[in-house]
Amino acid sequence: MHVQIAIVGAGFGGLGTAIRLKQRGIEHFIVLERAAALGGTWRDNAYPGCACDVPSHLYSYSFALNPGWSRTFSPQQEIWDYLEACADRFGIRPHLRFNAEVHGASWDEATRRWHLDSSLGPITADVLVSAAGALSEPATPKLAGLETFQGTTFHSARWDHEHDLAGRNVAVIGTGASAIQFVPEIQPDVARLTLFQRTAPWVMPRRARAMGDRERRAYRRIPGLQRFLRLGIYWSRELVALAFLKPRYMRYAQSLARKHLERSVPDPDLRAKLMPDYTLGCKRVLLSNTYYPALQQDNVDVVTEPIREIRPHGVVTADGVEHPADTIIFGTGFRVTDTPIAERIRGRDSRTLAEVWQGSPKAYRGTTVTGFPNLFMLLGPNTGLGHTSVVFMIECQIAYILDALRAMRRRGVTAVEPKPAAQEGFVSALDRRMSTTVWATGCKSWYLDATGRNSTLWPGFTWRYRQRMRRFDLSAYDLI
Ligand SMILES: Cc1cc2nc3c(=O)[nH]c(=O)nc-3n(C[C@H](O)[C@H](O)[C@H](O)COP(=O)(O)OP(=O)(O)OC[C@H]3O[C@@H](n4cnc5c(N)ncnc54)[C@H](O)[C@@H]3O)c2cc1C
């Protein structure tokens, strides 16, 4: 099978690209999705309490606002339904291929095409769009003795809904964005919840509320109202970005978070355990009003000793104490900087992205990579965010891809590849900007790669990224 464009992944990125291509009249593309449904993050993270932490008016496509959100921060099922509805509304179904995993993709210099090895068989494509997701591969720590555990284990992104937690002795490992959402939900049901915390996260109050019928009707009836609110949220988030870029402005936010902790947790011992020891923002800032109250319930223990090993019926910490457990839930995040798709894409000289990157992903404008002609990555290196919706970044990248296709057609070019100097210049300017941000204040976070470089986040305002991505800059590319 040959297609003009092969898109890998049917989450916000892959689906958004498909919609925009179709709106431009480009029909000769397919979306290859390894799972049996679309939705990506919002299909996989079905844990109790899962919701977005960027307001829904902003955490959605700019071209498909949803007046029907039930809450200011929508729950997982609603976001998944929204993506399904977008696939119908924009006629994307005929392009979707499910149970279609891409095992490998190699650029063939002779045919100037991508050759894909997929579960649907071989496919060739002129252009490859990787929308495989930055947070789609669960990371589970290699704990000594884990294979001897006699109970049930699962990752929050692969929640085992068959396993009833009522009356269980549950060990939760990790205190990141997912754990703080599901811990308060499961705490009332379980017999005992032992929370293993390596680093205390900063937690801010969550200003969430339901959106009633009247409000939803208003969004439907008053043209522009929801877009106006979205714009307000967007610019207020951009203002917040200032504190990430100039850490001295973080003091105010940090004092709010400290007050939230002090108000919520009267017990000085527990409060000391939960007090972070790094500048707010260096790791992802979490939002919750229910996390601290849950940790103070009688059936909860917060353990800060490092884990030494897992035994058949419990978790042993460095101090030799065995904490009994019949269920272990990993809230340990994702493989972000060593994403498996990088091991599957081979460029001009037959090396994979992972081999070229050597543990530190780099790309031109976070989207194209020297040595990999006609490859476009959504949410590629340094396009993640700590302060606002990544759907905004995805849409900037999609606009860039569409403009690239237009420019190639106009110039009669078969393939484009960023010049080495353009990519190096972009990356070194980005690294310089990163060096003065809050992410460079010394904490160890999942934003950092194997070399210690932050290859995950965009160190700037998103409107600046958008400015750069409006036009495809042909002069930065070798035309093949
Ligand atoms: C719990 C959670 C909450 C989040 N909340 C927010 C938020 O509030 N705001 C925000 O901005 N961001 C949030 N994020 C980040 C979120 O991942 C992005 O916002 C967005 O959903 C990413 O979309 P995507 O299409 O790039 O990737 P995904 O949604 O991860 O989709 C990638 C798709 O690619 C498929 N795939 C991967 N490899 C292959 C392969 N080899 N072959 C075929 N298919 C493949 C996967 O199955 C998946 O369906 C959250 C993430 C998580 C995990």
User: What mean pLDDT do residues 12-36 have?
Assistant: 98
Reply yes or no on whether the pLDDT at 109 is more than 90: yes
Pocket test for ligand 1, best of 8, 20, 33, 41 (most atoms within 8 A of CB): 41
**pLDDT exceeding 70 applies to what percent of the chain?**
100
Q: How much distance in Å is there from the Cα of 134 to the middle of ligand 1?
A: 6
Residue among 62, 136, 182, 346 to mutate when testing ligand 1 (max atoms within 8 A of CB): 136
145-162: per-residue pLDDT in tens? 999 999 999 999 999 999
Q: Give residue 59 CA to ligand 1 midpoint distance, Å.
A: 13
Closest residue CA from atom 30 of ligand 1: 133
pLDDT in tens, 400-436: 999 999 999 999 999 999 999 999 999 999 999 999 9
User: How far apart are the CA of 84 and the centre of ligand 1, in A?
Assistant: 14
In ligand 1, the atom with minimum distance to the C-alpha of 389 is 11
**Mean of pLDDT values over 77-102:** 98
Nearest alpha carbon to residue 130 among 443, 340, 332, 315? 340
Instruction: Please state the atom number of ligand 1 nearest to the C-alpha of residue 51.
Output: 3
Mean pLDDT of 456-461: 97
Of all protein residues, whose CA lies closest to atom 15 belonging to ligand 1?
Answer: 135
Q: How far apart are CA 380 and CA 20, in angstroms?
A: 19
Would you state the structure tokens that stand for residue 438, as one six-digit string? 């809050």
Q: Which residue owns the Cα nearest ligand 1 atom 37?
A: 132
Any atom of ligand 1 within 6 Å of the Cβ of 54: yes
Nearest alpha carbon, ligand 1 atom 52 = 41
pLDDT at position 423: 98
**In the predicted model, is pLDDT for residue 177 greater than 90?**
yes
Q: What is the pLDDT of residue 154?
A: 98
Burial class, 357, CB count within 10 angstroms (exposed 0-12 / middle 13-18 / buried 19+): buried
Q: Would you say the CB of residue 130 lies under 6 angstroms from ligand 1? A: no
The answer on pLDDT for 58 being more than 90 is: yes
Ligand 1 neighbourhood includes 278 CB (under 6 angstroms): no
Ligand 1 mean position, distance from CA 235 (Å)? 24
Residue 469 in contact with residue 255, Cβ under 8 Å?
Answer: no
The finding on whether 13 has its CB within 6 A of some atom of ligand 1 is: yes
CA of 310 to the centre of ligand 1 (A): 30
258 CA distance to ligand 1 middle (Å)? 31
Q: What does the pLDDT read at residue 161?
A: 98
Among all chains, which residue has been given the structure tokens 């997701």? 133
Residue nearest to atom 6 of ligand 1 (CA): 52
CA of 333 to the centre of ligand 1 (A): 12
Alpha-carbon gap, residue 269 to 260, rounded angstroms: 16
pLDDT grade, residue 480 (50/70/90)? confident
Q: What is the mean pLDDT of residues 352-365?
A: 98
Mean pLDDT of the 372-395 span: 97
- Please tell me if the CB atom of residue 102 comes closer than 6 angstroms to any atom of ligand 1: yes
Q: What is the pLDDT of residue 142?
A: 95
- Residue 442's pLDDT band, with cuts at 50, 70 and 90, is confident
Q: Judge whether residue 463 has pLDDT over 90.
A: yes
| pLDDT surpasses 90 at 453 | yes
Residue of 135, 183, 286, 383 to mutate, ligand 1, most atoms within 8 A of C-beta = 135
From ligand 1's centre to the CA of 14, what distance in Å?
10
Going from the Cα of 275 to the center of ligand 1, the distance in angstroms, rounded, reads: 30
Q: pLDDT tens across 257-308, in order?
A: 999 999 999 999 999 999 999 999 999 999 999 999 999 999 999 999 999 9
Mean pLDDT rounded to a whole number for the chain: 97
Q: Which atom of ligand 1 is nearest to the CA of 16?
A: 25
Q: Which residue puts its alpha carbon closest to atom 23 of ligand 1?
A: 12
pLDDT of residue 223: 86
What is the number of the ligand 1 atom nearest to the C-alpha of 156?
1
The predicted structure's pLDDT at residue 141: 95
Ligand 1 atom nearest to 390, measured from its CA: 11
